[in-house]
């Protein structure tokens, strides 16, 4: 047989009955320790698979995303084998590779504690040192059920009973056998550096009425340096965790009595949110958007018209009252469409831009809720642009420009752009989808925006552009989205009068700039580690009188700052100066102004910056002038 290696300018003649690992050992022995799998005509396969057909073969290394998935999936099996050897009564559920590492959900005879993780790690090292061959097996589904019944693995039996495939695929390493499609590494010894990270609870199948399992998270790498770098970044991420900082800085809270996924903003958190909302209102008005407000509640029929009842109902809160069905809105778009329909529209009105800080509610399973980053109730900086088809590209570009400009104002400058295409379930014709997708792609190309295609990740009514922003420690977060929608204008039968006085169908652009305010706040807090820039800080200045005799002067100075619109306060508690300064630093307040005898006598101030810089004998007017400049310029500079 003759095969071609992708990326290599050569063809190889292969004997029948040879595996890909043997092919590598014969022709590319120096790659044997780097390659973790192969891709044959687009399909991932084990290195232990036989070379069966002629065609193109791609060598998949750990550095490739698919290579990491193979590496991490094998690591999850090693972890599960270690747990079974330590706790033979354990029942295995599922253990996939995820975005960073892997996990396995397991029903154990007792609750694990963090001190168990090093014990499991030690057992994993033993399994790796055994260098057990990993073998792929195919078995009739009925036989696989009997196999797992003998092993008392009830979750595997449940999965098998629901499968349509027959035969099914299993993988074996030593005495350990798991239900899995693969592919996997050739042997357990190929996993080099690893670490078990944490424990969590997870309901079986994500169903709160089913058993609570124990989830063990882990990560693995080819080198020790990679592992140490990952652990360093993880430690930094934990230090920046917005949930902890939100509590320490008294910004927001969550309460079981209120329900999962709903946020309560404390005074400082409400101030921070209002700063962002005012910014958004001002920037939208500058760009010709018109403010609208729509209700939180609609009749169910409206969501049938929009298509949400058919494609999004599982994420909606619905209820009945007076024999009518109502929905707490998960989206703002139907309301904006109804406003559009209230009067005739002309081509002269287009593009028509409606903007709303609209609060929406979506059902998310409790297991995926995560502080501000994943909630059930949130507010979007939501806008809908109604335009003619020939205006679409330019309007998409303006949305991108707005999004990039706004994100840079908040300190984000590195982005990744994806074009998300038609999902499996969608409304509208294929022709409409193709046209909408092409228009978005062309808008990106026309304006030299680099992007990658994300197949199948569009929303049910149209393709979209997703902008991901990179934070201070290199993590990517979902941010702005721009969606081209030819379908809802059709469903709601909206038109405008063209130059020919005939009715035409507009295109509807759905777009958010910062996206959900809650999510953006969480990202913002983690990006800055809670030390927000001066213009965003809920408290910009705290005035610290050294003794009671200095309080009156401090209050007078505070009144001056407040009159300028600054967010200022006086710390006049009966504590030492050092304790007050320490409190200001823990609260991450940018400037602490100190008032003592010398400052009162000379009419000056002393300042301690958040970064620890001491500024003595400053003129008040000089301080005010420089502060005003920093605030107006939205400066990110920590230095005075």
Q: What does the alpha-carbon distance between residue 373 and residue 245 come to, in Å, rounded to a whole number?
A: 14
Given the residues 190, 214, 268, 333, select the one marked as catalytic.
333
Sign of CA dihedral 326, 328, 331, 335: positive
Give pLDDT, residue 453. 92
- Interval 445-504: pLDDT, tens: 888 889 999 998 888 888 999 999 999 999 999 999 999 998 899 999 999 999 999 999
**Which CATH number is 505's domain given?**
3.30.930.10
pLDDT band at 394 (very low <50, low <70, confident <90, very high): very high
Spatial neighbors of 192 by CB under 8 A, at least 6 apart, are: 220, 221, 222, 223
Q: What does DSSP assign to residue 637?
A: -
Residue 304 lies in a domain: no
| Residue located via tokens 């400058």 | 413
507 and 388 share one domain: yes
256 falls within a domain: no
Catalytic-labelled residue, pool 376, 384, 527, 580: 384
* Catalytic annotation, pick one of 242, 268, 510, 610: 510
| Euclidean distance between CA atoms 408 and 411, whole angstroms | 5
Q: Which is catalytic among the residues 173, 380, 395, 540?
A: 380
Do 101 and 219 lie in one domain? The reply is yes
**Where in the sequence is the domain holding 192, given as residue range(s)?**
66-239
The DSSP code sequence of 437-490 is: HHHHHHHHHHTT---EEETT-SBTTB-EEEEEEE-TTS-EEEEEEEEEESHHHH
Q: What residues contact residue 92 under an 8 Å CB cut-off, 6+ apart? A: 80, 84, 104, 105, 106, 107, 153, 155, 156, 178
CATH code, 120: 3.30.980.10
Give residue 282's pLDDT. Answer: 97
Percent of the chain with pLDDT over 70: 98
pLDDT digits (tens, 9 = 90+) for 519-554: 999 999 999 999 999 999 999 999 999 999 999 999
Determine whether 550 is an active site residue.
Answer: no
> Are 121 and 169 found together in one domain?
yes
438 Cβ contact partners less than 8 Å away, ≥ 6 residues apart: none
Residues 431 and 518 placed together within one structural domain of the fold: yes
pLDDT of residue 54: 67
Identify any residues that bridge with 173 across adjacent strands, giving them in sequence order: 134, 176
Q: Are 510 and 384 in contact (CB under 8 A)?
A: yes
Q: How far apart, in whole angstroms, are the C-alpha atoms of residue 414 and residue 471? A: 8
What was the pLDDT predicted at 287? Answer: 97
Q: Report the SS3 class of residue 139.
A: strand
E strand or H helix that includes residue 560? helix 551-563
- Annotation says 382 is catalytic: yes
Q: Residue 9: pLDDT band by 50, 70, 90 thresholds? A: low
Reported in sequence order, the residue ranges of 517-590 that DSSP labels E, i.e. its strands, are 541-545, 568-570
Select the more confidently predicted residue: 100 or 7.
Answer: 100
- Whether residue 596 sits in one domain with residue 561: yes
**Do 551 and 465 reside in the same domain of the chain?**
no
CA distances from 548 to 308, 575, 616 (A): 62, 10, 21
384 part of the active site: yes
CA distances to 548, 585, 609 from 531, in Å: 30, 9, 12
Same domain, 510 and 593: no
Q: Cβ distance 314 to 364 under 8 Å?
A: no
Q: Closest Cα partner for 517 from 267, 238, 274, 258?
A: 274
Q: Pick the catalytic residue: 45, 190, 362, 511? A: 362
Supply 494's token pair.
Answer: 């909206």
Q: Which position has the token pair 């909630």?
A: 375
Alpha helices in 56-181 (DSSP H): 65-86, 117-130, 141-150, 154-162
Q: Is the bond preceding residue 3 a cis peptide, omega within 30 degrees? A: no
CATH of the domain at 587: 3.40.50.800
CA 61, CA 228: separation in Å to the nearest integer?
Answer: 20
Is 464 an active-site residue? yes
Residue 450 and residue 365 share a domain: yes
pLDDT digits (tens, 9 = 90+) for 111-155: 999 999 999 999 999 999 999 999 999 999 999 999 999 999 999
Number of domains, the chain: 4
pLDDT for 638: 74
Tell me the β-bridge partners of 541. 568, 591
Q: N- to C-terminal Cα distance for the chain? A: 71
What distance in Å separates the CA atoms of residue 285 and residue 132, rounded to the nearest whole number?
65
Catalytic residue among 39, 464, 511, 567: 464
What is the rounded CA–CA span in Å between residue 516 and residue 379? 5
Q: Give residue 446's pLDDT.
A: 84
Same domain, 141 and 181: yes
pLDDT surpasses 90 at 639 = no
Active site residue 468: no
Judgement on whether residues 513 and 624 belong to the same structural domain of the protein: no
Average of pLDDT values for 619-635? Answer: 93
Q: What is the pLDDT of residues 196-243, one digit of tens each?
A: 999 999 999 888 889 999 999 999 999 999 999 999 999 999 999 999
Tell me phi and psi for residue 142, to 5 degrees.
-60, -40
- 510 in catalytic set: yes
């Amino acid at each position: 047989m003759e095969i071609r290696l992708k990326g290599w300018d050569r063809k190889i003649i292969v004997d029948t009955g040879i595996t890909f690992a043997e092919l590598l050992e014969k022709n590319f022995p120096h790659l044997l320790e780097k390659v973790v799998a192969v891709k044959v005509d687009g399909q991932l396969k084990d290195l232990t698979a036989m070379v069966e057909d002629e065609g193109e073969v791609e060598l998949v290394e750990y550095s490739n995303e698919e290579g990491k998935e193979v590496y991490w999936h094998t690591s999850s099996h090693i972890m599960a084998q270690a747990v079974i050897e330590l706790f033979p009564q354990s029942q295995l559920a599922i253990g996939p590779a995820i975005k960073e590492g892997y996990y396995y959900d397991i029903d154990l005879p007792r609750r694990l504690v963090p001190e168990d993780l090093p014990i499991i790690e030690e057992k994993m090292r033993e399994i790796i040192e055994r260098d057990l061959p990993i073998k792929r097996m195919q078995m009739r589904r009925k036989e696989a059920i009997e196999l797992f019944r003998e092993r008392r693995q009830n979750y595997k039996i449940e999965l098998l009973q629901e499968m349509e495939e027959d035969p099914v695929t299993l993988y074996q390493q030593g005495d350990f056998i798991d239900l899995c499609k693969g592919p996997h590494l050739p042997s357990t010894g190929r996993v080099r550096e690893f670490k078990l990270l944490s424990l969590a609870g997870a309901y079986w199948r994500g169903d709160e009425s089913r058993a609570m399992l124990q989830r063990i998270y882990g990560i693995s790498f080819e080198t020790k340096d990679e592992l140490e770098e990952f652990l360093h970044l993880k430690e930094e991420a934990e230090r920046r965790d917005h949930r902890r900082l939100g509590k320490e800085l008294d910004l927001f809270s969550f309460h079981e009595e209120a329900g999962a996924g709903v946020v309560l903003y404390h005074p400082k958190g409400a101030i921070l949110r209002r700063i962002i909302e005012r910014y958004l209102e001002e920037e939208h008005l500058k760009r010709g958007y018109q403010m609208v407000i729509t209700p939180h509640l609609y009749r169910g029929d409206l969501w049938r018209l929009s298509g949400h009842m058919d494609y999004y109902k599982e994420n909606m809160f619905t209820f009945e009252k007076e024999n009518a069905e109502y929905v707490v809105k998960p989206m703002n778009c139907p309301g904006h469409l109804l406003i559009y329909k209230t009067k005739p529209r002309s081509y002269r009105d287009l593009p028509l831009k409606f903007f709303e800080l609209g609060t929406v509610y979506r059902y998310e399973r409790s297991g995926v809720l995560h502080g501000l980053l994943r909630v059930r109730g949130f507010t979007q900086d939501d806008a809908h642009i109604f335009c003619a088809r020939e205006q679409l590209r330019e309007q998409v570009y303006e949305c991108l420009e707005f999004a990039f400009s706004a994100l840079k104002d908040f300190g984000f400058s590195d982005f990744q752009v994806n074009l998300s295409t038609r999902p499996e379930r969608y409304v509208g014709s294929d022709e409409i989808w193709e046209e909408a997708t092409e228009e978005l792609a062309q808008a990106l190309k026309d304006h030299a925006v680099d992007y990658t295609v994300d197949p199948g990740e569009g929303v049910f009514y149209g393709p979209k552009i997703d902008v991901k922003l990179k934070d201070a420690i290199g993590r990517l977060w979902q941010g702005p989205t721009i969606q081209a929608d030819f379908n809802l204008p059709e469903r709601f039968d909206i038109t405008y009068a063209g130059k020919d006085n005939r009715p035409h169908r507009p295109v509807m652009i759905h777009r958010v700039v910062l996206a959900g305010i809650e999510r953006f706040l969480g990202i913002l807090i983690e990006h800055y580690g809670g030390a927000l820039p001066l213009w965003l800080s809920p408290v910009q200045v705290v005035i610290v009188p050294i003794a009671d005799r200095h309080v009156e002067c401090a209050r007078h100075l505070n009144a001056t700052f407040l009159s300028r619109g600054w967010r200022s306060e006086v710390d006049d508690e009966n504590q030492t100066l050092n304790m007050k300064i320490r409190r200001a630093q823990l609260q991450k307040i940018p400037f602490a102004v100190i008032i003592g005898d010398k400052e009162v006598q000379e009419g000056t101030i002393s300042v301690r910056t958040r970064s620890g810089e001491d500024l003595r004998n400053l003129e008040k007017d000089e301080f005010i002038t420089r502060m005003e400049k920093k605030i107006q310029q939205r400066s990110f500079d920590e230095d005075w």
